[in-house]
A and B are shown apart, each in its own frame.
Chain A
Amino acid sequence: MSDCETLQDRALEDGARGVTETPELREHLAQCTECQRFLEDLETLTGALQALPLVDAPNDLVERTARQLRSTQAPPVKPARRWGRARYWYSAAASILVMGFAVLLLQQPQHRQLSTAPESELSRVLPEGQSVDRLQSPEPATEFAAREATGKKNAELVAQLRESERLLGELSELPADAGSGTVSIAGRLLQGTDTFEGGDDDGLVRKRRANRMLLEGNEQKRDARTAQGFPGARALPEELRDYEFRAEKERTVRRDGDRSAGLATLPASPPPAVDEAQEEYRKSETSSFSSTAENLAPAESPAPSKRPHAKDNKGYSEADQLESAQQAAAPVVRDLTFAGAAGDSPSDGSERQGRASARAEQFLTDLERVEGLRFKAAEGYWRNTYVPGDSAMRLLRTRLGLWHKVPGIGDVRLEQAVRANRQPLDVPDNAAMGLYLQADKAAVSGVGRVRLQVGLQGAVRQGARPTMNLSVLLDLSNNAQQPSPQQVRAIVDALLGAHQPGDRFSLTVTGADGGLLVDAADFRHGPLQVALARLFSGEMPAGAQPVSLIDALQIATVAARSGDDPSAVFGSSLVLLITAGIDDAQLPTLQTIAHRNAVGGIALSVVDTGAGGALGTGSPALERLVAAGQGQRRAMAQPDDAARVINAELHAASRAVARAARLRIRLGPGVQLIDVLGSERLEEPQAERVREAERSIDQRLARNIGIRADRGEDEDGIQIVIPNFHAGDSHVILLDLLVDGPGTAADVTLRYKDLVHLKNGVARAELKLPGGDRRPGPLQRNVLKNRVAFELAQAARDASRLLEQGDAPRAIETLRAMHELLAGLRETVNGWSSDRELLADARVLADYVAYLQANLQTHPFHQRYLVESLRYMAFRKLTAANGEPQP
């Protein structure tokens, strides 16, 4: 396709902006008169289309329509329990089907070759003559055991077992005597043995998946019957059936897409100390999981415990493996009804339903409690709860990706099933951000509790990445840990591949013969290869003084400043530090430099190539450094990750549609603040840093793109500053309030730098609550649902902590209680009985409980996985779909 065709196609699809925001197309346009004329004609047409006036319906037609509506039956009133008795029949049918399916899965003896592993992989390890067959051809256990007992070797099985043991060892989560147990577990899992009573973990996991598939199929059938007018169900007009199915399909596609997230393999390196990183997770972890500098306390982590590497084990014999494959797992009590029916079972329903209803009533009652409340001052700077691409979340995700390579865990991916609630926030048409206020009450009478929701919605922006001024800093100063030559070459190749016209990349290195290795003018294949060859030759020029990381950072900063284009998009000048870890002693100075640079408009991001990066645990020092530099931290486990990491970093600048978004929330007269959920008021030093960062963005944008600087003094009320808001993202902030009666609950102002329309954006909204006892509508219930989401995230975090402390029973109970709460709320709150998001949440909780019950007693590494999985699940529940952290 020629350049002209490419440009014209892009223009026809995305309009003129689609062309002008792409550097290579912009460059072609500047030189091609034909394309210029094409674009002019297209803009004429676009203007003409937009100028077409609306055609109004004739007044008499509208009047006739209104009359007809008035004369038809009363509008359909939504019942509190839409399904009524029919729902229980569906639930009963589903349960019976599930039970039946479970019976089918049960074969005494078992040893059905069920697996969710990829077919090609599994077929390599199956005994000869045994095919991968997901639900058929049971092989009696006796025959299987007999065949193995004859000593028939399976070299691939052994290789798989060794590989899995190495993976487990690398994760360094195993106790000292885990070797044989690990092999036995891996062996059983790979061989696909499963039981039900006294069952094996892998089989139960597969059954759970099968149950879920069955229930989903039942739900689809139910919807189909609904559309056909099945009695007791809602009737959808034909025109809407497709809409609902498509929307659900869209959600399914997104979910499945996430499930195919890439996995990193482990380098053959000694296991890192994980306790320190986990300690930092705990300290940095807040309700909204932000990992800004304000939240990272100085580390006082315990000395890292030494975990035996798998290689320290004395090994195992094949006979051990095969014998252990025959071992029965610890008896597992599995509540099929609980897990399979996802709270919908009527079989032991009355007692469970009673508990669920009681929990829901208690929860709702607590939300209305007005006695014994403690209030907070509704003023000052509060911590921003919108942190797209949170580093801690990314690291967790990378780590979970490694867990997923372990047989038996691989296909579970419990945390991937969780989704944040979709918010009813319209995408703004003429601004980069939209502001919406809602409450969970439609009216108040007298003193009462209200949840106020401040909703933010980013515009959808279609644009290519801006021209980047990237100063790459390669840290080779630490002989003990530094990026490998393969990693460095992969990064350089990725940069070369991503280089676009107008980009300025340079390369600075530390260590011997350090300094500016390749400047922007020479950043191409030839000079880079020569430079890298010299770098890794080990030859040190005579008299060469090693360049420290601190000095190299100064040099890299100078290189970035020299290429800084005042007209470029803010965030397009960057120092990218490639390192496997830094010395803590240097951190304070590095932080100071990084912060100063960031205030001056040059951010600092880090690509962690160390073992910590590989495993996603990372160094707290690097975490603090990127926080000071207002950059991103990315994990690069292996050379193959280089392209992904580099592209993510280069595109980060183009994702923001607004910067320096300042929310000011003033409560109405007589309204008191109980809490801002997930946030807390910042101490003055933290607040000062927030102000400083805000001013730097304000002034920089005034210089660069002419958006007038408009940030001045602090304002009254609650102030929250959001440095960046990304395209398409939505975010809600919940305030728990006590009002003394009808009136203004709050007025909110949002100021931001609009990068879409290149102006100062302002939005204001005020929420007044009338008197009366009007029932909450769907928007009010949406606020309540978001409140429930916070509750669920908290339950997940609590369960994670309990599990980490070794208290599995209480962790299970925490999740079960949350599951019951959801079940009770779905029965109690109008319109929630068929809410798909709540149903999905209930399923996820049921899956976690089932998994915990099945795997916890005998498999410590499953516990480690679940601790992190639950933590990540809590992140995910409160993170906007589009705000999913990038790798």
Chain B
Amino acid sequence: MSEPVCRTERGYVGGTDERDWLSRHCEGDAEAFPRLLRRYRRPVYSYLVRCGLDAASCDDLFQDIFLKIHAAAGSYDAAQPLRAWIFTIAANTVRNHWRRSKAGLAVVGNEPLADHGDPGPGTDGIAETGQALAWLPVAIAGLPLAHREVLILVAIEGLPQQEVATILGMPLNSVKTNLRRARLALLKEQRRRDTPVNAGEHS
């Protein structure tokens, strides 16, 4: 069954069609949830990877998150941005995972990407990023969880800080503080790597 088509010109802002997907899913539209899955598979999986989870946990939590989205589809309020709603589920799922498992961080970045199963097209980009940035995912995964969450959502996913505050359940000032600390930590690491070794030694 067709739906109202709101077309916008490419490159311009417009369209809130994704907010309708869950409602249509609840009404039995077989195409609605696959559409949502296609749209959010990369952002959600990227979030899991950048949170420092090992491959198996990423896979498990990925399924978990989308099953929860499915189960809670009826409670989604279209007045809220879908992206924030999904990332709330994702962020809380990761937090719960850490709490339950007390697992250590898996260092991501230098691991062979084959450990994640068949790499999707996006994962090739990591290999192409090169040595210059290879340290970055490792460093991100090494940040404290609170700093890491904020950094991923604001600086990588590009979500507005206020939206991130709602997602993570913290005041805006805390978002700013955590972001500041995360960036500062990465800056220090960046500078350390840029500084030549034995710079102060005399020949």
Chain A residues in contact with chain B, CB under 8 A? 9, 12-14, 38, 41-42, 44-46, 48-62, 64-66, 68-69, 72, 74-78, 234, 236-240, 242-244, 246-247, 250, 421-431, 433-439, 441-443, 460, 762-770, 772, 774-775, 777-780, 782
Closest to A775 in B: B27
Residue of chain A at shortest CB distance from B127: A53
Residues of A within 8 A of B20 (CB): 777-779
B179 proximal to A (CB < 8 A): yes
* A contact residues around B162 at 8 Å (CB): 460
Give every chain B residue within 8 A of A72 (Cβ-Cβ). Answer: 67, 70
Most buried by A among B7, B162, B167: B7
Given the known A-B contacts A62-B37, A75-B73, are A52 and B137 also in contact in the complex, defined by CB atoms under 8 Å? yes
Which B residues fall within an 8 A CB radius of A? 1-9, 12-16, 19-20, 23-28, 33-34, 37, 41-46, 49-50, 59, 62-63, 66-68, 70-75, 77-81, 83, 85, 88-89, 92-93, 96, 116-126, 128-129, 132-133, 136-137, 151, 155-156, 158, 160, 162-163, 166-167, 169, 176, 179-180, 183-184, 186-187, 190-191
Neighbouring A residues of B26 by C-beta, 8 Å = 75-78
Partner of B63, one of A12, A42, A64: A64
Q: CB-CB < 8 A to A763: which residues of B? A: 8-9, 12-14
- Given A239-B89, A436-B16: A424 in contact with B72 (beta carbons within 8 A): no
Q: Kindly report which residue of chain A lies nearest to residue B126, judged by CB atoms.
A: A53
B50 is contacted by which of A55, A75, A236, A247 (Cβ under 8 Å)? A55
A237:B68 contact, CB within 8 angstroms:
yes
Known: A250-B166, A434-B14. A764 touches B46 (CB 8 A): no
Residues of A within 8 Å of B169, CB to CB, are 242-243, 246
Q: Is the CB of B1 within 8 A of A772?
A: yes
Is the CB–CB distance between A41 and B190 below 8 Å? yes
Given contacts A46-B155, A56-B42, contact A768 B5 (CB under 8 A): yes
Q: A349 to chain B: closest CB distance in Å?
A: 26
The answer to whether A66 and B27 touch across the interface, beta carbons within 8 angstroms, is no
Closest chain A residue, CB of each to CB of B170: A246
Residues on B with C-beta less than 8 A from A242 are: 88, 92, 169
B155 touches A77 (CB 8 A): no
Task: Determine if B49 and A55 form an interchain contact, defined as CB atoms under 8 angstroms apart.
Answer: yes
Interchain CB contact under 8 A, A66 and B37? yes
A59 (CB) vs chain B CBs: closest residue = B118
**Min C-beta distance of B184 to chain A, whole Å:** 6
**Residues of chain A with a CB closer than 8 A to B179's CB:** 12-13
Q: Are A65 and B5 in contact (CB-based, < 8 A)? A: no
Contact A236 B75 (CB under 8 A): yes
19 example contacts (A-B, Cβ-Cβ < 8 A) are as follows A52-B136, A53-B122, A55-B120, A66-B34, A66-B37, A72-B70, A239-B96, A423-B79, A427-B160, A428-B13, A435-B13, A763-B8, A764-B14, A768-B5, A768-B6, A775-B27, A777-B20, A778-B23, A778-B78
Closest B residue to A777 using CB positions: B23
Flag if A430 contacts B42 (CB, 8 Å): no
Chain A residues near B3: list those with CB within 8 A: 442, 770, 774
A57 engages B41 (CB within 8 Å): yes
CB of A782 within 8 A of CB of B79, answer yes
| Structural contact, B88 and A243, CB atoms closer than 8 A | yes
By a CB distance below 8 angstroms, the chain A residues around B176 are 13-14
Contact indicator B74/A764 (Cβ below 8 Å): no
Known contacts A46-B155, A55-B126, A439-B4; A779/B78 CB under 8 A? yes
- A770 in contact with B13 given A55-B46, A57-B45, A65-B66 (CB within 8 Å): no
Q: Closest 5 interchain pairs by CB?
A: A56-B120, A53-B125, A778-B78, A56-B122, A239-B92
Query: In the complex, what residues of B have CB within 8 A of residue A764's CB?
Result: 8-9, 12, 14
Residues of A within 8 A of B5 (CB): 766-768, 770
Report A728 CB to chain B, min CB distance, Å. 9
Q: Note all chain B residues with C-beta closer than 8 A to A234.
A: 74-75
Q: How far is the CB of B22 from chain A (nearest CB, A)?
A: 8
A46-B155, A56-B41 known; A61-B33 Cβ under 8 A: no
| Distance of A422 Cα from B158 Cα, bound (Å) | 22
Q: In whole angstroms, how far apart are the Cα atoms of A577 and B3 in the complex?
A: 54
Tell me the nearest residue of chain A to B18, going by C-beta: A426
**Given A13-B176, A45-B183: A53 and B129 within 8 A (CB)?**
yes
Minimum distance in angstroms from B99 CB to a CB of chain A = 12
Q: Given the known inter-chain contacts A443-B4, A763-B13, A764-B12, please indicate yes or no for A424 contacting B167, CB distance below 8 A.
A: no
Given contacts A68-B63, A767-B5, contact A75 B187 (CB under 8 A): no
A762 pairs with B62, CB closer than 8 A: no
Which chain A residue has the least Cβ–Cβ distance from B108?
Answer: A55
B85 adjacent to A243 (CB under 8 Å): yes
Report the Cα distance A74→B25, complex, angstroms: 9
Q: Cβ of A768 and Cβ of B13 under 8 Å apart? A: no
A57 contacts B6, CB within 8 Å? no
Chain B residue numbers with a CB within 8 Å of A62 are 37, 41
Task: Give the residues in chain B near A74, CB-CB below 8 Å.
Answer: 28
Instruction: From A55, A66, A774, A782, give the contact of B122 (CB < 8 A).
Output: A55
B72 / chain A contacts, CB cutoff of 8 Å: 236-237, 240
A433–B43 Cα distance when bound, in Å, is: 24
Contact for A247 among B14, B19, B44, B166, CB less than 8 A:
B166
Please report the C-alpha to C-alpha distance between residue A431 and residue B45 in the assembled complex, in whole angstroms.
27
Contact A424 B42 (CB under 8 A): no
Report the separation of the CA atoms of residues A706 and B104 in the bound assembly, to the nearest whole angstrom: 54
* Contact call B191/A41, Cβ cutoff below 8 A: yes
Given contacts A12-B180, A234-B74, A425-B16, 16 further A-B pairs with CB under 8 A are: A54-B125, A68-B67, A72-B70, A75-B74, A76-B71, A239-B89, A239-B93, A240-B85, A430-B13, A436-B14, A436-B16, A765-B15, A766-B6, A777-B23, A778-B23, A782-B78
Given contacts A58-B117, A243-B166, contact A45 B190 (CB under 8 A): yes
Inside 8 A of A57's CB, which chain B residues have their CB? 41-42, 44-45, 59, 62, 120
In the complex, chain B residues whose CB is within 8 Å of the CB of A429: 13, 158
- Indicate if the CB atoms of B66 and A762 lie closer than 8 Å: no
A782 to B67 alpha-carbon distance, docked (Å): 27
The reply to whether B166 and A77 form a contact with Cβ atoms under 8 Å apart is no
**A423 surroundings in chain B (CB, below 8 A):** 79
Interchain CA distance A437-B13 in the complex, whole Å: 12
Q: Are A240's CB and B122's CB within 8 A?
A: no
What chain A residues lie within 8 Å of B123 (beta carbons)? 53, 55-56
The answer to whether B191 touches A48, judged by C-beta atoms less than 8 angstroms apart, is: no
User: What chain A residues lie within 8 Å of B96 (beta carbons)?
Assistant: 238-239
Closest to A837 in B: B79
Q: Within the assembled complex, what's the spacing in Å between the Cα atoms of A65 and B117?
A: 14
Cα A44 to Cα B166 with chains together (Å):
28
A549: min CB distance to chain B, Å: 44
* In the bound complex, CA of A763 to CA of B126 (Å): 34
Residue on A with the closest CB to B25? A75
Neighbour of B4 across the interface among A64, A239, A769, CB < 8 A: A769
Quote the shortest CB–CB distance from B86 to chain A (angstroms): 10
Nearest residue, chain B, Cβ from A64: B63
A60 to B132, CA, bound (A): 31
Give the chain B neighbours of A443 by CB distance below 8 A.
2, 4
Please give, as numbers and ranges, the residues of chain A lying within 8 Å of B156 by CB-CB distance.
49-50, 52
Question: In the complex, A425 Cα to B27 Cα: how many Å?
Answer: 23
Chain A residues with Cβ below 8 Å from B124 are 53
Contacts of A246 in B (CB 8 A): 166, 169
Q: How distant is the Cα of A766 from the Cα of B63 in the complex, in angstroms?
A: 36
Q: How far is the CA of A443 from the CA of B1 in the complex (A)?
A: 10
In contact, B184 and A247 (Cβ under 8 angstroms)? no
Judge whether B79 and A422 touch: CB under 8 Å: yes
Give the distance in Å from the alpha carbon of A68 to the alpha carbon of B96 in the complex. 22
Please, how many angstroms separate the alpha-carbon atoms of A38 and B2 in the complex? 53
* B7:A765 contact, CB within 8 angstroms: yes
Q: Are A424 and B79 in touch, CB under 8 angstroms?
A: yes
Q: How far is the CB of A255 from chain B (nearest CB, A)?
A: 16
- The reply to whether A65 and B63 contact each other, CB–CB distance below 8 Å, is yes
Whether the Cβ atoms of A58 and B4 lie closer than 8 Å is no
Report how far A426 CA is from B84 CA in the complex, Å: 11
CA–CA, A64 and B23, complex, Å: 23
> Across the interface, do B7 and A766 meet the contact criterion of CB distance under 8 Å?
yes
